[in-house]
């Protein structure tokens, strides 16, 4: 099985990992009484456009970077989750396992944008 990260649709082998991650994010979000949009706002994201980040993570249809899970864990901590945000982010990344998206490379991003 090729576990090389790719863009686009989630591969079949990634689904179990991403669904476990999504179920845990949903459980944590609900435990502090936040809506999906409210959690996105607490992460500093704009939930108004298109398909939101949190709904796609919870549905297991989006690969997620460790840095995004750190943002999410910090937002959940500020909302009342009693877990250490860094430990929580690490644990969530472990649930994503090999389906965790690679971090962006700032140099590649700058070249891609033409800067």
Q: What is the pLDDT of residue 110?
A: 59
What's the mean pLDDT when you consider all of the chain? 88
Task: Report d(CA 58, CA 25) in Å as an integer.
Answer: 6
Among candidate residues 94, 92, 93, 74, the one with its CA nearest the CA of residue 84? 74
Q: Which residues pair with 65 in a beta bridge?
A: 101
Write the Ramachandran bin of 90: left for phi over 0, alpha for psi from -120 to 50, otherwise beta.
Answer: alpha
Task: Report d(CA 44, CA 24) in Å as an integer.
Answer: 21
Q: Residue 9's Cα: distance from chain center in Å?
A: 15
Among candidate residues 38, 43, 48, the one with its CA nearest the CA of residue 65? 43
Residue range 41-85, pLDDT digits in tens = 999 988 776 678 999 999 999 999 999 999 999 999 999 999 999
Q: Which residues pair with 101 in a beta bridge?
A: 65
Query: In the chain, what are the domains?
Result: 12-112 (1.10.260.40)
């Amino acid at each position: 099985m090729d576990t090389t990260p790719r863009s686009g649709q989630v591969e079949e082998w990634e689904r179990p990992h991403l669904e476990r991650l999504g179920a845990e994010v949903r459980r944590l979000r609900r435990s502090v009484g936040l809506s999906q949009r409210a959690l996105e706002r607490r992460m500093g994201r704009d939930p108004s456009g298109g398909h939101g980040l949190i709904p796609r993570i919870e549905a297991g249809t989006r690969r997620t970077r460790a840095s995004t899970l750190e943002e999410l864990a910090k937002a959940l901590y500020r909302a009342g989750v009693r877990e250490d945000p860094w430990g929580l982010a690490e644990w969530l990344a472990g649930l994503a396992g090999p389906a965790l998206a690679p971090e962006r490379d700032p140099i590649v991003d700058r070249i891609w944008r033409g800067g």
